[in-house]
């Protein structure tokens, strides 16, 4: 995803959106660990400082999303491409404000066969990270869309992940952005671990809405109407407990939540739970959706080849 003129030192000195999002969350988690252990540290402060810097230097208000990376030797410029994994992480890690998240829902480009790693694409580079869609990136974007209440993007994301698994009878690593086919990609493989994880994430993170918190396992399921039905997730190990989870209906919120046959007001199970337990969830049968706004194929101009003649 870097232009051909870049050398290793240029890439090394760049500041990528997704990488910084991960560091921001890792620092925050270290700060939380320090609080639990009653150990004084400044990790949470560093996380907030990094978050502020990302929003200052990487947010493109005219585009409605974050730029791909900062690059340059002596003065940094921001690449105006969208970087989908980074965009998703900025939503999931609350680096983006609520207002920014809403803008991103409407602005981050999604193509017909799913979201691409970057947008627009770079000409002259075969499909892999460039001009390609990866199921695991799609899973993160779908998860972020669910958090954002963008139901149309969630449904489109699930369809994108299931389409390739159904057509190719395996979980391919990546697909060509323009036609959704694995033929034409530079490198590919079957049963790709992170593509399998993406497929599983549809069940765990979206349908059953598993949301792991430090002190509990919360449930925030999202089941599109087109996938309404009855689903079971049995034998799920959670700390010192084993959960058998059953969910029925469809919708964007829980209608009733039972733990071992007792109706609960809170939709979670505590971290201290031990032994085997049953969770039954009934959805509210409300789900507003519609066609997702897709962007057509777009490539940036070729990098100019300049030369020096005489003076």
Cα dihedral value 183, 188, 191, 197, nearest 10: -110
Using alpha carbons, list the distances in angstroms from residue 218 to 22, 132, 221. Answer: 22, 34, 10
Most confident of 259-268, 281-290, 301-310: 259-268
pLDDT digits (tens, 9 = 90+) for 5-35: 889 999 999 999 999 999 999 999 999 999 9
CA–CA distance, 64 with 81 (Å, rounded to integer)? 11
Q: How many other CB atoms are there within 10 angstroms of residue 306's CB atom?
A: 6
Q: What is the pLDDT of residue 167?
A: 96
pLDDT digits (tens, 9 = 90+) for 128-172: 999 999 999 999 999 999 999 999 999 999 999 999 999 999 999
- Residue 35: which region, alpha, beta or left (left: phi > 0; alpha: psi -120 to 50)? alpha
Token duo for residue 212: 């792991």
The pair of structure tokens assigned to 24 is 């921001």
Give the model's pLDDT for residue 33. Answer: 95
Q: Is the pTM of this model over 0.85?
A: yes
Q: What is the pLDDT of residues 76-120, one digit of tens each?
A: 999 999 999 999 999 999 999 999 999 999 999 999 999 999 999
Residue-wise pLDDT tens digits, 175-234: 999 999 999 999 999 999 999 999 999 999 999 999 999 999 999 999 999 999 999 999
């Amino acid at each position: 995803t870097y232009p051909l003129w870049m050398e290793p030192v240029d890439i090394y000195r760049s500041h990528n959106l997704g990488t910084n999002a991960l560091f921001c969350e890792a620092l925050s988690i270290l700060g939380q660990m320090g609080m639990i252990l009653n150990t004084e540290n400044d990790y949470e402060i560093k996380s907030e400082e990094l978050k502020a810097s990302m929003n200052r230097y990487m947010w493109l208000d005219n585009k409605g999303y974050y730029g791909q990376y900062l690059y340059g030797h002596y003065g940094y410029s921001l690449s105006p491409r969208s970087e989908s994994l980074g965009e998703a992480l900025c939503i999931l890690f609350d680096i983006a404000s609520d207002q920014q998240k809403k803008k991103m829902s409407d602005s981050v480009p999604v193509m017909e066969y799913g979201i691409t790693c970057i947008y627009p694409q770079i000409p002259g580079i075969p499909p892999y990270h460039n001009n390609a869609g990866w199921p695991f990136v799609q899973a993160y974007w779908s998860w972020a869309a669910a958090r954002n209440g963008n139901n149309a993007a969630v449904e489109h994301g699930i369809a994108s992940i299931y389409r390739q698994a159904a057509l190719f009878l395996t979980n391919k690593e990546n697909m060509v952005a323009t036609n959704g086919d694995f033929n034409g990609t530079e490198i590919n493989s079957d049963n790709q671990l992170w593509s399998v994880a993406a497929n599983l994430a549809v069940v765990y993170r979206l349908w059953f809405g598993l949301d792991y918190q430090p002190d509990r396992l919360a449930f925030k399921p999202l089941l599109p109407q087109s996938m309404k039905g009855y689903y079971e997730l049995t034998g799920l190990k959670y700390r010192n407990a084993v959960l058998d989870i059953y969910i029925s209906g469809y919708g964007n919120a829980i209608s009733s939540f039972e733990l071992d046959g007792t109706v609960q007001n809170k939709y979670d199970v505590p971290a201290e739970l031990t032994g085997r337990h049953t969770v039954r969830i009934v959805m509210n049968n409300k789900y507003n959706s519609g066609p997702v706004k897709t962007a057509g194929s777009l490539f940036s101009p070729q990098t100019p080849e300049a030369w020096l003649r005489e003076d």
